[in-house]
Chains A and B, each alone.
Chain A
Amino acid sequence: MSELLGVDRLSVHFPARGGQTVRAVENVSFSIEAGETLALVGESGSGKSTLGFTVAGLQTATSGSLRFQGETLTKATWPAARSKIQIVFQDPFGALDPRMPVSDIIAEPLLIQRIGNAASRRTRAAELVEQVGLPRDALNRYPHEFSGGQRQRIAIARALSPAPLLIVADEPLSALDVSIQSQVLNLLKEVQEASHLSYLFISHDLAVVNHLVDRVAVLYLGRLVEVAPREALFAHPAHPYTKALLDAVPRIGRARRRHSGIKGEMPSPLNPPPGCVFHTRCPKAQPICSKVPPALEPAATPGQSAACHFKEA
C-alpha cells in the first residue's frame, strides 16, 4: 500500500475577538493509505470538522502542509487535486441545492472541472444514480422530493462523480435515522470496494467507526492524542482519553460504571492548558503533565501511537 494523503504538522488557527486566537487544529500529522479508511473521532469542538475541511480544501491551513499522491498541495497543485478529493457533509438537507435537479447536482463536480461534455456528464449521472441505489427517474427530480437517507445517497453520488481517490465524510450518518444509517454505511462500503477509495471518516459514533474503518485517530482540543489500528484501539487503548471515550459507549449487558467517565468540560481552544492539554481532566495526571507537552510516540501494539507521558505500554 502506498500513501495517498499525508498531513504534516498541520495547524489551523482562527482570529477571535480581542486579538485572541482559536487554535482549532494544532500540529497534527497523520497519513491515509490508498484504499484505507481512517476515522477521525473526538468530542464536538475537538477540531475534527475543521481538519476535514482543510483536507477537502475548504479551509486554509495556518501552518504545516498536505501531501496528496506524494505531491505537496500548493496553490498551483490544488486545482488538479480537487477532483480527486471530495466531501460528503453531515446535513443532507443543506448539502444539496434545492433549486437544482438531481442530475445536475450529481454531475456538478464534472461541470466545474470541465470533464466531458453535457451528454457524457448526464450519462455519468445516470450511472451513479443507479450505483447508489436510487431509481433512474430520480434524475429529473428536485432534492425536496427525497428523504434524508436518499439525499445522503445523492450527496455520495455527487462525491463519486469525478472518480475521486479520497472522500472526506464529515459525520455522514449522524443526521440520519438509525435504520437508515446502516444502509448508508453499507453503501459507503460497497462504493469503496468498487472503486478502491480512501475515506477520512469524521465521526463521534464509535459503534459506526468499529464497522467501517481500518485505523482510528483520536483528536482532543485540536491535538492528535492517539492513532491506532481499529482492533488495537478498541482492545487496548493507550491514551487515557481514548479509554474514557470507549468507556462512555453504552453496551448491553454491562453494568453502568459511574466513575469511569471523565469529568468536566473540554477547555476552551482560545486558552488551551499548558503541557498536555488533557491534564485538566486526566485521571492519571502528574506534575510533569502540566509542564511538558507529550509527543505522539509508538505505544504497545505495532502501528499504535499515543501522546501521553503515561501511555499504556
Chain B
Amino acid sequence: MRPDAAIGVWTLRWRRFRRHRTGMASLFILLALIAFVLAAYPLESLLHIDPDTTDLFARFDPPGPGHYLGMDEAGRDVLIRLMVGGQISLLVGLLATVIGGVIGTIIGVIAGYFGGRLDGVLMRFTDGMIALPLLPLLIVLGAVDLTKLGFSADFAHSGAAGFWRIVIIISIVDWTSIARLVRAATMQIRERDYVRAARAAGAGAPYMMATHILPNIATPVIVSFTLTVGRVILFESVLSFLGFGVVPPTPSWGNMLNNAQELVTTAPMLAVYPGLLIFVTVIAVNFLGDGLQHAFDPRSEK
C-alpha cells in the first residue's frame, strides 16, 4: 500500500513503530505497569489498607484474602507497598532520565554544532562535572537545607521535597555521559551535505538541530536513555539508603529490594516481587528503545 500523496514524517515513524512487535508489546507493558501503580488509590480505599501501617502480629503472613501478596517483615501489605513504591520508582526513573537526558542532549548538541570556543567551555564544564567525586557531592547536595533556599518548612520536610531532591540530584550527576555522546555524534552530522543544503536554503541552528541532527543521532541517544532508566531506579535505592530522598517508611522498589536482602533466606518473595518489577520495567524500556530506533532509522530491519 503506497498512497500517492505525501504523508508526514511522524506518521511514517508511527507506522514503523507499530510494526515493531516487541516495541509495541513493551509500550503496553509500561502502560500496564503505570496502571498497576496507580491502582494503589482505589485499592487503598476499597480494602481500607495503608502502605505504612504496621501490624506486628501479622509479620510474614502468607497471601490471603485482603492481602493478596501477604505481609512483610513489619506486617505491612506487600501489594499496596509495591504499588505505592512503584509510583515513586517509575516517576524518579523516568523524570530523572528525561531531565538529565534533555540537559545532556542540549549541551551536547550546542557544543557539537557550534564548536569552537563555546564547545571548549561547555566540554571543560562537563569534564569538571565528571571529575567530581560522586558520593561526597551527593552528601553535600543531600544536606542542602531547603528552608534556607526559601522553601517553607512544611515543604522541606515533606515526602515531595525528598522526591524532588532525588530527581534533581540524579539529573545533575547523570547528564554528562549523554552530553559527550551527543556532542561527538553531532560533529559527525554537522558537515554532511544535507545540512549544507539546508543552510544554503537559509535554515537556522534550531531548525538544523531539530530536523537533521537529532533524528540522525537518535540511535545512540535512545540506547543511552534506555540504559539510564534502569540504572536510575537502582540508584534511587542507593541514595535512599544513604538517607537522602525517599525516607522510610515510604516505599520504593529500590528500598524494598534493599530491605529484603537480609531476609532473603526467610522470606525470599519480598526480594522477588520488587526485583521482578524492576526487571520487567528495565526490559520493557529497552525494547521500547529498540522500537523507537526502528521508527527513526528507516534502514533498520526488524
CB pair B9 A95 closer than 8 Å = no
A-B contact pairs, 29 of them (CB 8 A): A57-B199, A86-B200, A87-B196, A87-B197, A89-B197, A95-B193, A96-B194, A97-B212, A98-B299, A99-B298, A101-B6, A101-B12, A101-B298, A103-B7, A108-B201, A108-B211, A109-B201, A112-B198, A112-B203, A126-B4, A136-B4, A137-B2, A139-B6, A140-B2, A140-B7, A140-B12, A141-B2, A158-B197, A162-B201
Q: Give how many A residues have a beta carbon under 8 Å from the other chain's beta carbons.
A: 43
Task: List which A273-294 residues lie within 8 A (CB) of chain B.
Answer: none
Please give, as numbers and ranges, the residues of chain A lying within 8 Å of B212 by CB-CB distance. Answer: 97, 100
Residues of B with C-beta under 8 A to A95: 193-194, 197
- Taking the closest CB of chain B, its distance from the CB of A211, in whole angstroms, is 25
The residue on A at minimum CB distance from B192 is A94
Q: Which residue from chain A places its CB closest to the CB of B296 in the assembled complex?
A: A99
A100 contact set on B, CB distance < 8 A: 9, 194, 211-212, 215
Question: Which positions 217-236 of chain B face chain A at CB distance < 8 Å?
Answer: 218
Contacts of A158 in B (CB 8 A): 197
Assembled-state Cα–Cα distance A98/B194 (Å): 9
- A137–B202 touching, CB < 8 Å: no
Chain B positions 1 through 18: 1 when the CB is less than 8 Å from some CB of chain A, otherwise 0:
011111111001000000
Chain B residue with Cβ nearest A136: B4
Query: Closest CB-CB distance, A55 to chain B, in whole Å?
Result: 10
Contact between chains at A112 and B5 (CB < 8 Å)? no
Q: Are B201 and A112 neighbours in the complex by a CB distance under 8 Å?
A: yes
B298 close to A144 (CB less than 8 A): yes
A96 — nearest CB in chain B belongs to which residue? B194
Q: Which of A87, A97, A107 has the most CB of B within 10 A?
A: A97
B91 shortest CB reach to chain A, Å? 31
Please encode chain B, from 286 to 302, with 1 for each CB lying within 8 Å of some chain A CB and 0 for all others.
00000000001111000
Say yes or no: A126-B193 contact (C-beta < 8 A), given A57-B200, A98-B299.
no
Residues of chain B contacted by A89 (CB below 8 angstroms): 193, 196-197
* A57–B207 alpha-carbon span in the complex (Å): 18
Residues of B within 8 A of A142 (CB): 298-299
Determine which residue in B199, B200, B215 has the highest number of CB atoms from chain A within 10 A of its CB, and name it: B200
Chain B residues with CB below 8 A from A182, complex form: none
User: Smallest CB–CB gap between B20 and chain A, Å?
Assistant: 16
B216 contacts partner chain A, Cβ-Cβ < 8 Å: yes
Contact of A94 among B193, B203, B299 (CB under 8 A): B193
The answer to whether A97 and B194 have CB atoms under 8 Å apart is: yes
- Residues 142-159 of A contacting B (Cβ, < 8 Å): 142, 144, 155, 158
A104 on interface, CB distance cutoff 8 Å: yes
With A101-B12, A136-B4, A140-B7 as known contacts, state yes or no: A79 contacts B197, CB within 8 Å: no
Interchain nearest-CB distance for B221 vs A (Å): 13
Minimum CB–CB distance for A12 against chain B, Å: 16
When the two chains form their complex, are residues B298 and A122 in contact, meaning their CB atoms are under 8 A apart? no
Instruction: Determine whether A58 belongs to the interface, using a CB cutoff of 8 Å to chain B.
Output: yes
Q: Does A169 contact B (CB under 8 A)?
A: no
Q: A78 — which chain B residues lie within 8 A by C-beta?
A: 202
Please measure, in the bound complex, the distance between the C-alpha atom of A105 and the C-alpha atom of B296, giving whole angstroms. 15
Name the one of A79, A99, A137 contacting B216, with C-beta atoms under 8 angstroms.
A99
Q: How far is the CA of A2 from the CA of B9 in the complex (A)?
A: 41
Residue from B201, B202, B203, B211 whose CB has the most chain A CB atoms within 10 Å: B201
Within 8 Å CB of A136, what residues of B? 4
Q: Could you mark each residue 74-91 of chain A with 1 if its beta carbon is under 8 Å from any beta carbon of chain B, else 0?
A: 000011001101110101
Complex-state Cα separation, A56 to B296, whole angstroms: 30
